[in-house]
Amino acid sequence: MPTSPCLLLDKFAAKNIFNYVDASGELKTIEASSNSNQFKLAGKLVAPSTSAKTHAARGVSKRAISYSGCTSSQQTLISAAAAASNTYVANVNTYLNGISSGTTRYTTWFGAYTAARLSTVRSHYTAIGTDATSTTYDCTTCQNTPGIDYDSTYAYVYSDEPGTIYLCGVFWDAPVTGTDSRAGTIVHENSHFEVNGGTSDWVYGQSSAKSLATSNPTRAIDNADNHEYFAENNPSLS
């Protein structure tokens, strides 16, 4: 096994999967999601070597927000985004607990209503809860991660390592709230963690997410951008 990350690009795979072996000898993938030529990322463990460490499934410990390599101004921006992300999730949980049929907002992002699918969606947001303000935000690692263009990337996570979100260049240019916002990006990334439902990146962008909800509700409730756009609710739907 190489001792430094070796990125093997497969740019046009269905889910834009980039494979690499990290410094500990683990084979990993990063799922890159494109939206207007920008990216949101979610890394997932694929096949660890026998010598690699085992990641036990665990929840995000309820601790204070923390930062790695972030300037004071970046910390201020993250803090505001994390608080707004918690508000998004709290509002979503209130909304979902108050419906028992396919509302316009629900069907737009998650497709035809069934009680089972609603239950799944509820479980994801319930699990996310207030994770945004008990997370470590890493502001520097993305700049040196092989295969990731810092300037065209929002953020990425490793789905089996809850509690850390790696922030990249586009995150800082996004609005605090609204479509493709910093707060929404945090919802998107938190939904990728296995302990929060382990969503995938089937499609990206509002138009494709709406189409997915219509054509394949099962995938829509497993798609991170659908969770983000449902939470951002912009334009507002009832």
pLDDT one digit per residue (tens) for the chain, 238 residues: 332 222 211 112 233 444 444 444 454 455 544 444 455 555 433 222 222 222 223 344 468 999 999 999 999 999 999 999 999 999 999 999 999 999 999 999 999 999 999 999 999 999 999 999 999 999 999 999 998 999 999 999 999 999 999 999 999 999 999 999 999 999 999 999 999 999 999 999 999 999 999 999 999 999 999 999 999 999 999 9
- Active-site hit among 26, 31, 161, 189: 189
Q: Do the beta carbons of residue 167 and residue 143 sit within 8 Å?
A: no
Q: Do the beta carbons of residue 16 and residue 161 sit within 8 Å?
A: no
232 catalytic per annotation: no
Query: Which one, of 195, 178, 189, lies nearest residue 231 by Cα?
Result: 178
The DSSP line for 8-55 is E--TTSTT-EEEEE-TTS-EEEEEEEEETTEEEEEEEEEE--TTSPP-
Query: Which overall architecture, per CATH, does domain 6-49+61-232 show?
Result: 3-Layer(aba) Sandwich (3.40)
> The tokens of 181 are what?
């916002």
| Domain range list for the chain | 6-49+61-232
